[in-house]
Amino acid sequence: MTGYVGTRVLRREDDALLAGRGKFVADIMPQGLLHVAVVRSTTAHGVITDIDTSTAERMPGVHAVYTAANLPRNAAATPCPLHVPNPAITKPYTWRALASSEVVFVGEPVAIVVADDRYLAEDAAEAVIVQYDDLPMTTSIEDALPANVVTHRGDDDNIAAKFTVGYGDVDRAFDSADLVVGGQYRPHRGAGSPIECRGVVAIPESDGRTLTVWTSSQAPHLVKRSLIDVLGLSAADVRVIAPADVGGAFGSKIMTYPEEIAVAAIALELKRPVRWIEDRREHFLSTTQERDQIWDVELAVAKSGKLLGIRGTLLHDLGAYAMWGIITPYISATTLPGPYVLPSYSLETTVLLTNAVPTTPIRGAGRPQAIFVLERLLDRAARELSIDRATIREINLVTPEQMPYEVGLTFRDGGPVTYDGGDYPRALRECLLSADYEGFAQRRQDSEAAGKFRGIGIGCYVEGTGLGPFEGARVTVEQNGRVTVYVGAGPQGQGHHTTMAQIVADALTVPIDSVDVISGDTAVIAKGIGTFGSRVVVNEGSSAHRAASAVRAKILRLAATMLEIDSSDLTLSDGVISVRGDDQTRLTVKQVAAAAQGVPGFVIGEGDDNVLEETDYFTPPQAAYSYGVHIAEVEVDRKTAGVRVVRYSTVHDCGRVINPLIVAGQIQGGVAHGIGNALFERVDHDYNGQPTSTSFADYLLPTASVVPKVTMSEFSIPTEGNPLGAKGVGEAGTLPGPACVVGAIEDALYAAGARIEHHPVFPHDLVGFIETATSTTRP
Ligand code: MCN
């Protein structure tokens, strides 16, 4: 059978995962393995005045203690590369394998202990005495802006970049507006929180020069490039593998981390395998985070509800280093117009360094914040104009007739933001239907009768997915007829091995069970970028499709030569080649593949037809724009002020769907993430810059009992930007979550004065409104 694309093929990844047979970095235990514990900065900003490693060095089982001064290959001398440079960045700070003098956040690595096991390493790490001269510090955007304190000593201010985006005549829009609404909006910092924290195992060859690095990463090729740059290796010296089982990442494993560089350098020096496995506390202290922003914006509207313009400022917390450049705030700024016709827009963005863990894209990458702000503004305008909240969205959405729609902004790839197609009003209509928007009033009454406040909220989004520059796939048919697909970007739970097998099985017209997928290994495919930005289906999927289609053509040409027939008379289906109009003559892919292996000196096909292998690197012309609508309904408990999401409906269009089952899983997981951002997840610091949320007791995640079953529907308007017609979906489920959940909470308590401009929303934020509501309804 072929025709796998579009069908609910069960994930081939799941049997092993469900049976506990997944193979994660921590499962890689080569002979002679040494273990690392990292000594981290205990101050948010300071200068290291002394590191005393003498006691630790003498402790049993300790092999070495390293600081920046003695880290092998001078590995701490060179900062990690700035992965996404931008001319607007004026302070391109990136971290080093170990801090040498100044530390700029609590958790920054300052020393490393290598021991026979992790327990011994941790004990010895405790015995490393680091003295600091503390410097003034700030972890808050408000304090960072006036530059009373600076994140990096010697700087005059904390501004890492400043840029303005916009189009149209904003001043005229505001002059002619019937209504102006605005506010200060504050989405807060959260963590990526994958189940598997980070980890790295470096295994050297005995030559002291070459090594294999296993790392729990979203971007093994990028890690390889960093190792080459920082450690002065040649490309042939280092192989980086991200195992097929990476236990989640959500963006936090995109970049090169200090531990990857340090562990590789130490393994080369000690000529022993070395590993470091991050624990949860370290994850909160050292793995990148996202979302802290302050938006001061206003919206100009006509009394018809038509949008006229938005203007304002955005302050973005970059944390202590610019590891992923300014991609996140740039995406925020260019996402704000959303799926609506917004005639004018101006936003000045200031990107600020703070003494906290660096921020880099976490699922959604700046978009959830922009969607939150825009949808809050729409709700406010609708209320002031007494227009239904669904109607104000409906009358402003970009229509199919306006497609392709040029927003007037430049996207992060340097091209214009041009929505490539779709039916946004249909998505809203269908979501209102599936959420039974009409029936809400009755449900509200029922909740009130049960002593609860009930509200409904809407969030619409459009998202540029599938950006290049490229991702590759190598498709090869083995002599036994099995097909191997080598791809650069690997999964962290997205089910790529299943979807790539579907794409290749269809393009080759062979059974899916004959297709094996190998991902995330720099030794099997030369170039790769990584899994982020909902880009794999567009880039890697298209490459796999094109490579497999080219191999199929080769198979048919070889079969034609073998059968002495024209290849146009042949068909290939389910791995069998038949001659049109001839039931007797057949060849299998296996027979052709065996023949193609050849006998020395004999040639079957022409040119490289004899090699049943193709590599393709697809480059999309621009982003593929997915879009959708989410509607949440919440109940707020009168006694506890607890919020419960009781209904959640989504409609989305991600173009041609490769696997509806996987897409549904991505949306459901994304919604959980969005609910977490709206109600639970908040990284905080005390007045000294000490993180106060460093365990799942302090940092709450949504659990199965608080995430409702999501009612999902989809329709598909394929994009023309890639041969599959697919658009990305990996982040979509998260994007409008905070917007619609907070919109619903505000709706529940609107009459009591609730105007909510931040998230997460905690029960204590609501107590006052509940008291007001209770006192005004008391007889
Ligand atoms: N897919 C499909 N049809 C489409 C679009 C996608 O069948 N039209 C399938 C793809 O083939 C793939 C999955 O859906 O199996 C996601 O594809 P895509 O949208 O291309 O996203 P990526 O594969 O590039 O994944 C990255 C994205 C991001 S940016 C984050 S963050 C994220 C996410 O995916 N992190 C995740 N989903 C995650 N899911 C899990 N379980 N864990 C994470 O860490």
Distance 535 CA to ligand 1 centre (A): 8
- Average pLDDT, whole number, for the chain? 95
- For residue 156, give the DSSP letter: S
**Cβ-contact 127, 115 below 8 angstroms:** no
Distance 504 CA to ligand 1 centre (A): 18
- pLDDT digits over 472-488, tens only? 999 999 999 999 999 99
pLDDT at residue 380, as a whole number: 98
Nearest 5°: phi and psi at 138? -145, 140
Distance 490 CA to ligand 1 centre (A): 10
**Amino acid code (one letter) for 764:** H
Ligand 1 atom with minimal separation from the 248 CA: 44
pLDDT at residue 1, as a whole number: 46
What is the CA angle 717-402-630, rounded to 5? Answer: 55
413 pLDDT band (50/70/90 cuts)? confident
- Examine the pLDDT at 393 and tell me if it is beyond 90: yes
Using CA atoms, how far apart are residues 653 and 661, in angstroms rounded to an integer? 15
Q: What is the mean pLDDT of residues 39-53?
A: 98
Using CA atoms, how far apart are residues 444 and 438, in angstroms rounded to an integer? 11
- pLDDT digits over 131-150, tens only? 999 999 999 999 999 888 99
3-class SS shares of the chain: helix, strand, coil, % to 5:
30, 25, 40
Distance 663 CA to ligand 1 centre (A): 8
pLDDT at residue 2, as a whole number: 65
- Examine the pLDDT at 101 and tell me if it is beyond 70: yes
Pocket test for ligand 1, best of 661, 666, 727 (most atoms within 8 A of CB): 666
Pocket test for ligand 1, best of 10, 24, 537 (most atoms within 8 A of CB): 537
Using CA atoms, how far apart are residues 4 and 520, in angstroms rounded to an integer? 24
pLDDT at residue 78, as a whole number: 93
Distance 670 CA to ligand 1 centre (A): 10
Using CA atoms, how far apart are residues 779 and 761, in angstroms rounded to an integer? 30
- Examine the pLDDT at 779 and tell me if it is beyond 50: no
- pLDDT digits over 166-199, tens only? 999 999 999 999 999 999 999 999 999 999 999 9
Ligand 1 atom with minimal separation from the 541 CA: 11
- Examine the pLDDT at 412 and tell me if it is beyond 90: no
607 pLDDT band (50/70/90 cuts)? confident
Distance 666 CA to ligand 1 centre (A): 6
Using CA atoms, how far apart are residues 52 and 198, in angstroms rounded to an integer? 28
774 pLDDT band (50/70/90 cuts)? confident
Rg (C-alpha) for the chain, rounded Å, is 28
Using CA atoms, how far apart are residues 98 and 564, in angstroms rounded to an integer? 66
Ligand 1 atom with minimal separation from the 724 CA: 8
Q: What is the mean pLDDT of residues 593-603?
A: 80
Pocket of ligand 1, beta carbon within 6 A: 194, 248-251, 363, 492-496, 499, 531-537, 541, 654-659, 662-663, 666, 669, 726-731
Parallel, antiparallel or unpaired: strands 624-637 and 576-579: unpaired
- Examine the pLDDT at 28 and tell me if it is beyond 50: yes
- Examine the pLDDT at 751 and tell me if it is beyond 90: yes
599 pLDDT band (50/70/90 cuts)? confident
- Examine the pLDDT at 115 and tell me if it is beyond 80: yes
The fraction of the chain above a pLDDT of 90, given in percent, is 93
Q: Which residues contact 572 (CB under 8 A, 6 or more apart)?
A: 508, 509, 552, 555, 556, 559, 578, 589
- Examine the pLDDT at 452 and tell me if it is beyond 90: yes
603 pLDDT band (50/70/90 cuts)? confident
Peptide bond before residue 469 is cis, with ω within 30 degrees of 0: yes
Distance 238 CA to ligand 1 centre (A): 28
Using CA atoms, how far apart are residues 389 and 406, in angstroms rounded to an integer? 25
- Examine the pLDDT at 161 and tell me if it is beyond 50: yes
pLDDT at residue 777, as a whole number: 59
Using CA atoms, how far apart are residues 364 and 375, in angstroms rounded to an integer? 16
